[in-house]
Chains A and B, each alone.
Chain A
Amino acid sequence: MTGVLTLYGIAVTAGMYALSRRLSRRWPSPFTSPVFFTTCATMVVFLLTRVELSDYAEAKEILTFLLGPATVALAMPLYRNRRLLVANLVPAMAGLIAGALGTMLTAVALAKALGLSRAIVVSISIKSVTAPVAVEIARMIHADPTLTAAFVIVTGMVGVMLGPWLLDRAGIRSPLARGLALGTISHGQGTAQAALESELAGAIASIALGVAAVFTSLVAPLLLPYL
């Protein structure tokens, strides 16, 4: 019985993912983006067909197996664009550290001020890291991986919907600065958005995504006692 449910879980997830890729190609929008759409659609199908989360545990185990190798593969864009990083080392690193630290501290301070529970505060602190790394950091600092994943996905969408407009308003026009900001704050989705703006922005965003993941991995455990 569990075998059938596991297969069903995998089939639903894969089916919704395939559908989301078609939808996002036809109607590009953060709401049809594969991450957001697949997550919501899979949940809806499970609720309608009365699949419990425990029935999905094995499928989840199988499907997330490739998260580790996928994270390791992030070294490739870093290596490919290494000269760009070296050529702009000071502005890129300064902007990245300020952005990553700034967004973490703002999220934590605001969440605390609003009286949100500690579990939420800890999980929300790492929402600007690319999902596979955020989930791993969440396990390390005893945050909730599921909450973290949700916050990461929403942050990616916020960056795509709000980012370009906000950067225009703030007078940030240099492709380097725009790509860096989008990659640092909105990880994968921000990088995709930056790549639409220009090749340089996309390249620096993919660097920012990787370096911000390393930076936040180092900082999050240090910040933990103060949360």
Chain B
Amino acid sequence: MTPGIEGAALTTPAGIAVVPRNDFRATAAPVLLAAKRAALLVAEVAGLWAINEAGQFIVSRLHVHFPGNVAGMLILLALLCTGVVPERLFERSSSLLARHLPFFFVPIAVGLMTLGSTVVSKGIWLLLVLVASAAVGLCLAGWLAQALARPASKEQP
């Protein structure tokens, strides 16, 4: 073992590769980077959680009938618009949470297990209500937006 020569793996007479210090750092770097990224992500989510808690707190204090998490969303929107919070601060966590949003509410829908009989017996009617009301909403929203947007879209093609 000759100390002082760095950057290349040395082989002892027994044939065991000895990794010099520099190489150790090089192999540890990606691990450290991944750990740092994970820690930042957790911090970002903690920030979003804190805003959600603030929303819940304000809503309960004011005794208004408004969902706390929507209040939290409006708080973050206000923070972004006023420039208090830069857009990139919650960049990674927000896209991650948005992508996997279905996963987080599936457990609530799984509760349907015990409501099975109610839903199955009324299934056709429920489906009718859902399809018809969605169709009415889609047409109303689409028609009105298109009718009102037409003059404006001619001005700026």
A contact set with B: CB distance below 8 Å:
13-14, 17, 33-35, 38-39, 42-43, 46-47, 53, 56, 59-60, 63-64, 66-80, 82, 88, 90-92, 94-96, 98-100, 102-104, 106-107, 110-111, 114, 116, 120, 124, 127-128, 131-133, 135-137, 140-141, 144-147, 149-151, 153-155, 158-159, 162-163, 166-167, 170, 172-174, 176-178, 180-182, 184-186, 188, 208, 210, 213-214, 217-218, 221
Contacts and interface: CB of A to CB of B under 8 A. Distances in A.
Interface stretch (B9-17, B22-30, B32-40, B46-54): B46-54
B141 interface: yes
Given A102-B140, A131-B105, A149-B111, 14 more contacts: A42-B110, A56-B107, A60-B111, A63-B104, A73-B94, A76-B80, A95-B145, A114-B125, A116-B125, A170-B142, A174-B146, A176-B146, A181-B137, A221-B65
B106 to A, nearest CB: 5
Contacts of A69: 45, 48-49, 51-52, 93, 97
Contacts of A77: 98
Count class of interface residues, chain B: 35 or more
Given A71-B70, A166-B139, A158 B108 contact: no
Contacts of B104: 63-64, 66-67, 70, 132
The binding surface of chain B is classed by DSSP as helix
Interface string B60-93: 0000011111101111110011000001001101
Nearest to B112: A150
A178 B142 CA distance: 6
B112 A67 contact: no
Contacts of A135: 105, 108
A136 B70 contact: yes
Q: What are the nearest 5 A-B pairs in CB distance?
A: A99-B141, A103-B137, A95-B145, A146-B111, A91-B148
A116 B49 CA distance: 38
B129 interface: yes
A68 B49 contact: yes
